[in-house]
Structure 1
Amino acid sequence: MWVAEGIMQKRDTENLEETAAYDDVEELSSRNMVQVAEMTVDERIKSCRVHDLLREVAIRKAKDENFFQIHDTRDDEISAKSRYLAVHSLPWDKNYFGSSTPPLRSLLFFNVHEYGKNISLNFKSFRKLRILDLDNVKMSYNLPKGIGEVRLLRYLGLRRTSIGRLPRSFSCLRNLQTLDIRNFYPVKVSNFIWKLESLRHLYAYKMECDVPLMIEGLRNLRTLSRIRFDDIMHNNMITLTSLRKLGIWVDDRSDIDKLCVHLSEVGSLKTLHLYFTRGGPQSLAGLSKLHHVTELKLSGRLRMLPPDFPPNLCRLSLKRTSLKDDPMPVLEKLGQLSFLKLEVPDWGPQYMVISRQGFHQLKFLVLNDAYCLKEIEVEKGALPQLRCLRIKQCYGLEKLPEELKHISSLDALELVDIREDFISRLDAEMVSRVPNLRIFDLPRERLWYLL
């Protein structure tokens, strides 16, 4: 959104505007202008908030300047001068903005999903609009064709709406940078995406195409998320010269090796996410061809690990897998791996062993939802650079590995939603040696910090 507003610029030739935006969030945090609500295990800001007093001051100042307005009661009058409007509550009258054309640049809806009627917007009245976020808004089944009149639109959020089709007039949105259609229900799309030459981020969850999707030539496209395998395989992927993140739905018929041959020529690609359905593909051997990929995510009913991984892999996430054997003997040999997240909820291994000198570059290890896991053994000399270990909802785990107390680099141990009897049996020496032991109890929203 910040990039679409035009307030972010490249700081240098290497960093993207989105990277600069994140850097600014970190700076705001360091100045206590925003509060960090949640951090990732590798200490990146995942969510943040503004203190209520600072928020009130900002709202009052913005209102005085006719800059920003929050519409949060049904009796509020919407200013005809505000450039930014956040709608928290809708009046019963459908004519929300009167007959005049407001000078709105951004229009955002929050928490209006309980409104009893379909929202109807006259898009011809919003020709200066750059940001439109309809998250969770109930609208008519098809997005009105008048959306094509909003030629300056750069960001369109349609998450969790009831929209079932995007009109052909959508192809007129040549300035659109972000299209988010992560929806509960399928959204039908005609073959016009290739015309959106400014498009940077396409979140395509539940997107269905009338004809094979054409995306060739989208040289600004950086994120393509949750696209179906069959929708992209006929495209020449090498034309996507800016593509950095790609997420694809695959099944047992998908030729992943052929896909990897295509992707091996996309030098900008850094992150690949494969979502498995129907048990996953027959082969994942082609992953070894992806020399440019440094982050790999595999989600779904994966029963066996790939025979090879991208050779320069630094980050690996295995989510909701069905691995029955201990994956550590394979994963600990990935020489450049610094981040590993494992999620094995169904009939996973009961024992995991990390051998001597295993994971010699790993800094962050996350074990999630390993319900069957009873014991983790860490041999002497393993995990020499581990900085943070997070264990979440591993209800069968009986104890922590003894060797953890001898890993001098270990700075943080996080236990999330773990049985109380497990916590009561924690080794006192281990607790004293780890600088930051954090215990989160999610169901009762309690948090202890043992320092």
Structure 2
Amino acid sequence: MADGAAVAVLLETAINLLIAEAVFLSGVKEQIEQLKRDLKWMLLEVGEAFENKSDKRSRLYANQMRDIAIDAHDVIEKFIDIKRHGILSLTSHLISRHRLGNRVAEINASVEKLRLRKTTYNSTESSNRGSPSWSQINKRRAEIVEDIKNQQEPAVNIYENSEMQVIDLLTGADKSLCIISIVGMGGVGKTTLSLKVFKDDIVKKQFECRAFVHISNEYTSANLQEVLQTILVSCGGSVDSNKKVTCETVKTHLQNRKYLIVLDDIWDTDTWKELKGAFPEAQNGSRVLLTTRHKYVAVEAAGTSSDHELFVINDIKKSWELFQENYAPFKRSSITYEGPCFPPADLVKLGNTMLEKCHGLPLAIVVLGGLLSYEECLYRAQPEWSLWSSENDRSSWISSQGKHSHKCSGILALSYDYLPDYLKPCFLYMSLFPENSMIRVTKLFQYWIAEEFIIQSKSGGQMLEDTAMDYLNELISRSLIQVSKLRCDGKVKNCHIHGLLHGISASESTTDDFSEAYDSVREFNQKENSSRRVIVYCKEKKQQNERYLSTSHNSRIRSLMCHEDVYFPTNPYLSSFFSGFKSLRVLDFYGDTGIVSLPKAVKELIHLRYLSLEKSKLEMINTSYLSKLVHLRTLNLRGNEHVQLDDQIWLLVHMRHLYLRDIRPAANNGRHEGIGTYPKELQLLVIQAGDWIYDCRLQKLSSLRKLKIEECLNMHLDEISIAVANLTKLRSLGLICKTSIDEPITNEQVPLASIPFSNHTSLVSLHLKGHILDWPTYITSFPPHLCKLKLEWSWITEDPMLVLEKLPSLKFLRLGFETYTGMKMVCSKGGFVSLQTLELDSILSLEEWELNKGALESLTKLTICGCENLKMIPDGLKHVITLKELTVTNMPHLRRRMAKKLGRDWHKIKHIPSEGIHIG
């Protein structure tokens, strides 16, 4: 259970707090020592408690353990904060210590009751303790294997190209043993494809012996015998009941044979390591084909060069063909999607609506066809449209198929069941994002870190953000999360989750009281909520009568997110609201919430790690309130143009991510509260330039990885240049000067020209907006591993391409408004060896662009916008065969020249896929 993993983290954190802060808790020593023993006992019990939540009594036991762990953690943390930060007077402290003693005694008593009830709660599971989850998994997998054995070869070839590619790999001329892998999420068709190529006539003729083995039980060394026996018998060997079949036995039998072995559904690298010794290298063209959901298994077995990844179906016609093949009435009547015998238009439309819920997953489409066929047999008299309509109205149809649930949701849920405990809460957190939304990983990591899902590396050498990226990559490699967009350095920028996996995440979250999503304020207010994490949307704004969230909800909520027109009146409502959610770790209000200023009660949210009020139209915040939030790691005030904080914000020494407009000196008789402190762990800072940068305050932020400073003025540039030169850990830098189209060009406008970047070996992304003089001298100090460069308002007088094309790692280049003031631009042969995306926007003086053959040989995307004096696109573009997407806008002259088949420049771009050409 995911909540079990989260509770284990809470318990470990509480125990560590007790050990590390014993001096603060000395006044209640006996109670604290007992609490420490109780928490250690709970830590030992937590795995079993949450593994066995199979009945109401066991679930109650696990939930009580979770509640005690949360109470203990919050009480300890609160008291330590009060002591450490001197919030109370001596008299108040004595009272607080007495209260702490009472609260700890209450928690200890609750633990004792829990201990006494343990036998009762677990009595029904005593004979199978620790095994129900595995039992359920094995049951699911046994049903799946039985289906596969009876599977008929599909008439619709949804993966025709994949089949040909895999067959080519199997039948290639290479005589050495090749390990080939098929990778993809559950239900995407890995087993179907492997069976198809296994039975292919060409493949059959290539191999002397073949074996197809399902690694589909809980694999242990005990199962090794069964797998080896299957391979041996399938390849013409015999099994002696008195002798054990070993890898060496199988290897000896296969030694002089050309063989094909298919290992279907391998879940971990240990399984492969145990089996690989059975496959001899006979230099005769033998092959091993394996299927897996996990990329790291494929890499371990086959490397990256011999794997084949399957994705969901994006072609609605293919989806429809697969559906009709599995819907019995269509089979009988030979109805096709288009042509003279297609179904009525309303039925096609309804069918497409249902197919959309399958999100292109072949298994879900097959299940839908089979489900409707079954219901058609039961209710033969019911009109077909009515049957489909009623089934479509069941939003949960895909996961509620009774005894056949293993066919879709069960198969997908296996990936979740197999997750290690530390990844389960990270996966379930995805349920708090809208289905099919693109998720920015920076924000996702900030949530995970705030919730303390990310475990600090024991070596201490890795940042929390890097560990979060490791977690994400593992979820991606397990086919539970998909990559939407990569950064220029190859790391994930945006991700998403498949719709059906999102449903599993939401279902498991609700079952565990992990999280809950509400479509309206009314729904949130009316439903009794026990979840720890809540997100509220307003999807039906016209019908929305309630806009204020109730303050009487569960005070143990740890994450609260409100998006899309959720409204909050000002005091006293807001003070009452904050007082009702004192356990919050994450508070995220997005958009116009009606909040003009934050009340004093906000400083009572002492556990808060993440606070975002992006685009909420705040007018002011008392920084002293925020400075009491000593655990705050992320503060996002972007889009609030009137809010300024004073330098007390630097008191938040654990801050890691900071988005705000400006920092001003505190208005307290000239005394700057935060001037002697600064957040040493700060990773990300997005801010406007101001007096806060002086006195070396910027360069003290030596841990910065991403820095963006907006509205820089000449008076700030020297200080910024000195600071940036010393911030050598930077990975991304944006320096945005305040400019105007009417601003004259003068020698005084020299932003950034003196910054030496040669020591910035980690800097991969650079955005500069402002006048650059002495271009060749400036360029010699560009970061050596620069991948992404955006230039705007640079007023460069010499052709920038002659220098930029020599940057070996550059993959993305944008030359924006008035970057270059010359009339001709040249890309030389062999230049821009790595560039994949090039954007030219509003370079008004540009008339001629020469592109020599052999330049831009990796380019896949080209955008030209508003370069109104450019006479024609370069002739050399016809040699850029890698180009897949071309966009030309706001250039009517070029639009005519590029008209399909008729335009004078059409021959230069006709090799680009037609769907990739956008001319407007």
TM interval, short-chain normalised: 0.7 to 0.9
* Paired position in structure 1 for 2:515: 68
Aligned length: 434
User: Structure 1 pair 53/219, CA: closer, same or farther in 2 (3 Å)?
Assistant: same
Pairing 1:6–2:452 present: yes
The one-letter amino acid of 1:343's match is L
User: Structure 1 pair 131/181, CA: closer, same or farther in 2 (3 Å)?
Assistant: same
* Paired position in structure 2 for 1:448: none
Q: Supply the distance in 1 between the matched residues of 2:907 and 2:485 (Cα, whole angstroms).
A: 28
Task: Report if the CA contact (8 A) 2:730-2:760 is conserved.
Answer: yes
Pairing 1:111–2:564 present: yes
Deviations along 1:191-219, whole A, 9 cap, x unmatched?
Answer: 21221111011112x23524477485321
1:173 match: secondary structure: coil
Q: Supply the distance in 2 between the matched residues of 1:208 and 1:67 (Cα, whole angstroms).
A: 37
1:56 corresponds, among 503, 514, 534, to 503
Task: Report if the CA contact (8 A) 2:522-2:546 is conserved.
Answer: no
Q: Supply the distance in 2 between the matched residues of 1:312 and 1:326 (Cα, whole angstroms).
A: 20
The one-letter amino acid of 1:55's match is H
Pairing 1:197–2:653 present: yes
Q: Supply the distance in 2 between the matched residues of 1:302 and 1:73 (Cα, whole angstroms).
A: 49
Which has the greater radius of gyration?
2
Pairing 1:284–2:757 present: no
Deviations along 1:237-273, whole A, 9 cap, x unmatched?
Answer: 4532311222223544335344323332333233321
Deviations along 1:305-364, whole A, 9 cap, x unmatched?
Answer: 7441434341353344263645424533654452342232359655421234544x5433
In the TM superposition, what is the alpha-carbon distance from 1:108 to its structure 2 partner? 0.6
Question: More helix by proportion, 1 or 2?
Answer: 2
In the TM superposition, what is the alpha-carbon distance from 1:96 to its structure 2 partner? 0.8
Task: Report if the CA contact (8 A) 1:276-1:301 is conserved.
Answer: yes
Q: Supply the distance in 1 between the matched residues of 2:629 and 2:855 (Cα, whole angstroms).
A: 54
1:47-446 → structure 2 map (5 Å cutoff):
47-76=494-523, 77-89=526-538, 92=546, 94=548, 96-98=550-552, 101-112=554-565, 115=567, 117=569, 120=574, 122-167=577-622, 168-204=624-660, 206-211=661-666, 214=675, 216-278=677-739, 281-288=749-756, 291-292=759-760, 294-295=763-764, 297-302=766-771, 304=773, 306=775, 307-309=777-779, 310-313=781-784, 314-321=786-793, 323=795, 325=797, 327-329=799-801, 331-332=803-804, 334-345=806-817, 350-359=823-832, 361-370=833-842, 372=844, 373=846, 375-383=848-856, 386-393=858-865, 396=868, 400-406=873-879, 411-416=882-887, 418=889, 421=896, 422=898, 424=900, 432=911, 439=916, 441=918
Q: Supply the distance in 2 between the matched residues of 1:283 and 1:403 (Cα, whole angstroms).
A: 35
Question: More strand by proportion, 1 or 2?
Answer: 1
The one-letter amino acid of 1:284's match is L
Q: Supply the distance in 2 between the matched residues of 1:296 and 1:40 (Cα, whole angstroms).
A: 9
In the TM superposition, what is the alpha-carbon distance from 1:15 to its structure 2 partner? 4.9
Task: Report if the CA contact (8 A) 2:606-2:628 is conserved.
Answer: yes
* Paired position in structure 2 for 1:449: none
Structure 1 range deviating more: 228-237 or 49-58: 49-58
* Paired position in structure 1 for 2:463: 16
The one-letter amino acid of 2:884's match is L
Structure 1 range deviating more: 301-310 or 81-90: 301-310
Structure 1 range deviating more: 239-248 or 193-202: 239-248
**Structure 1 spans left out of the alignment, 5+ residues:** 444-451
Q: Supply the distance in 1 between the matched residues of 2:489 and 2:692 (Cα, whole angstroms).
A: 34
Q: Supply the distance in 1 between the matched residues of 2:749 and 2:676 (Cα, whole angstroms).
A: 24
Task: Report if the CA contact (8 A) 2:789-2:810 is conserved.
Answer: no
- What RMSD, in angstroms, separates the aligned Cα atoms of the two structures? 3.7
2:726 match: secondary structure: coil
Q: Supply the distance in 2 between the matched residues of 1:440 and 1:128 (Cα, whole angstroms).
A: 53
2:916 match: secondary structure: strand
Task: Report if the CA contact (8 A) 1:158-1:182 is conserved.
Answer: yes
Deviations along 1:152-192, whole A, 9 cap, x unmatched?
Answer: 11111111012222221211111111111112422121221
Task: Report if the CA contact (8 A) 2:689-2:713 is conserved.
Answer: no
Structure 1 range deviating more: 350-359 or 215-224: 350-359
In the TM superposition, what is the alpha-carbon distance from 1:62 to its structure 2 partner? 2.0
**Structure 2 spans left out of the alignment, 5+ residues:** 1-446, 539-543, 667-671
1:262 match: secondary structure: helix
The one-letter amino acid of 2:783's match is N
The one-letter amino acid of 1:341's match is L
In the TM superposition, what is the alpha-carbon distance from 1:223 to its structure 2 partner? 1.0
In the TM superposition, what is the alpha-carbon distance from 1:70 to its structure 2 partner? 1.5
* Paired position in structure 1 for 2:159: none
Q: Supply the distance in 1 between the matched residues of 2:728 and 2:489 (Cα, whole angstroms).
A: 26
Task: Report if the CA contact (8 A) 1:260-1:289 is conserved.
Answer: no
In the TM superposition, what is the alpha-carbon distance from 1:402 to its structure 2 partner? 3.6
In the TM superposition, what is the alpha-carbon distance from 1:31 to its structure 2 partner? 5.2
Task: Report if the CA contact (8 A) 2:488-2:787 is conserved.
Answer: no
Q: Supply the distance in 2 between the matched residues of 1:264 and 1:15 (Cα, whole angstroms).
A: 23
- What TM-score does the superposition give when structure 2 sets the normalisation length? 0.42
Q: Supply the distance in 2 between the matched residues of 1:47 and 1:270 (Cα, whole angstroms).
A: 17
Q: Supply the distance in 1 between the matched residues of 2:547 and 2:829 (Cα, whole angstroms).
A: 70
In the TM superposition, what is the alpha-carbon distance from 1:227 to its structure 2 partner? 3.4
1:103 match: secondary structure: coil
User: Structure 1 pair 305/44, CA: closer, same or farther in 2 (3 Å)?
Assistant: farther
* Paired position in structure 1 for 2:132: none
1:264 match: secondary structure: helix
Q: Supply the distance in 1 between the matched residues of 2:757 and 2:599 (Cα, whole angstroms).
A: 44
Task: Report if the CA contact (8 A) 2:530-2:554 is conserved.
Answer: no
Task: Report if the CA contact (8 A) 2:737-2:769 is conserved.
Answer: yes
Task: Report if the CA contact (8 A) 1:188-1:208 is conserved.
Answer: yes
Q: Supply the distance in 2 between the matched residues of 1:193 and 1:133 (Cα, whole angstroms).
A: 19
Q: Supply the distance in 2 between the matched residues of 1:214 and 1:281 (Cα, whole angstroms).
A: 30
In the TM superposition, what is the alpha-carbon distance from 1:220 to its structure 2 partner? 0.2
* Paired position in structure 2 for 1:447: none
* Paired position in structure 1 for 2:27: none
Task: Report if the CA contact (8 A) 1:145-1:170 is conserved.
Answer: no
User: Structure 1 pair 441/50, CA: closer, same or farther in 2 (3 Å)?
Assistant: farther
Q: Supply the distance in 2 between the matched residues of 1:347 and 1:219 (Cα, whole angstroms).
A: 36
1:226 match: secondary structure: strand
